Amino acid sequence: MRVGFVGVTGLMGHGMAKNIQAKGYELAYTLRSESDRVADLAEAGATRAADYAELGRTCDVVVLCVTSSADVEQVVAGEGGLLADPKPGLVIVDTTTAEPASTRMLGEAAAQVGVGFVDAPLTRGPAQAEAGELNTMIGGDDAHVEKALPVIQTYSAYQLRTGELGTGHTLKLINNTIIQSFCSVVAEGFSVAAAAGMDPNLVEEILTQGGMNSAILHQMGGALGGDYSGMEFYIDNARKDVRYYTRLAAELGIAATMGPAAHQALSIASKLGYGQKFVPELVNAAAELNRVELSQKD
């Protein structure tokens, strides 16, 4: 089986593509610009396609790992996209954190030319992508999922079948907004503690002793000691995901309050210059906003 990949140079995509190739699939990829991050893939036999249309024409499955719904729409349905001249029976697997309405629209467009579409967004991070230990939420037609699943399993240790097309992306937006709401309030809590003359590390310490103890808590707490690597996820990407969530909630008639609050915190951090920094830097953004000094761990 020949598998195409769009997004091989990304934090997540590179490890995913390596695992697909390592499990014996013939790998093809596209590049928007030259990158050294494909050298290992090319050395192992991966081939570069001229454009998205070539991937669609020559591959059995194409995996997308890009940033936004706009990117997915361009890759799939734009001029020279995957649907321009697709191979019969092609299945597109979109791992992007995308908007469900866009996903369903693309699924309909794909079906018109005999192409399957599966939404299969991810949780966990780049280290797990390299190790083949990602979690995947999968929405789509059973036949399309069945064809795509062996490819998904090369980089994913856990798969959750969510239902029809678009449900995977719906669940991912809920997941990410819950996480970003927690990260935002922890960052704010550190600043409140510092403003009260307390050591903000005590916030992490007491939360550790109860039900809120979690890997994410410790990733945010790491920022107090200058370690921001625990969650390799850019603030601007988190802001985009929560924006998609608030839009979805509005479409469903939900009176959302937490999503908009998290989006505001992320937007403020972005305006302060933290957009291309990892989420734990919300701790520094909150401190800067509130003009407080955070004590550092030894």
> 182 with 176: CB under 8 angstroms?
no
Residues forming beta bridges with residue 64, ordered by sequence position: 6, 94
Q: For the chain, list residues with pLDDT below 50.
A: none
Q: Write the CA distances from 103 to 97, 98, 169, integer angstroms.
A: 10, 7, 8
Give pLDDT, residue 89. 98
* Cα–Cα distance for residue pair 135/137, rounded to 1 Å: 7
What one-letter code names the amino acid at 27? L
Other Cβ atoms closer than 10 A to 70: 14
- Residue 29: alpha-carbon gap to chain centroid: 19
> 236 with 256: CB under 8 angstroms?
no
* Cα–Cα distance for residue pair 202/55, rounded to 1 Å: 53
Helices 142-155 and 13-22 sit at what angle, rounded to 10 degrees?
100
Give pLDDT, residue 243. 98
* CA-closest candidate to residue 22, choices 210, 151, 126: 151
Segment 253-297, tens digit of pLDDT = 999 999 999 999 999 999 999 999 999 999 999 999 999 999 755
SS (H, E, C) 225-290: HCCCCCCCCEHHHHHHHHHHHHHHHHHCCCCCCHHHHHHHHHHHHHHHHHCCCEHHHHHHHHHHHH
pTM here is: 0.95
* Cα–Cα distance for residue pair 91/82, rounded to 1 Å: 10
What one-letter code names the amino acid at 72? V
Segment 215-229, tens digit of pLDDT = 999 999 999 999 998
Domains of the chain: 2-164 (3.40.50.720), 170-290 (1.10.1040.10)
* Cα–Cα distance for residue pair 259/243, rounded to 1 Å: 8
* Cα–Cα distance for residue pair 51/83, rounded to 1 Å: 12
Extract the tokens encoding 169: 């992306």
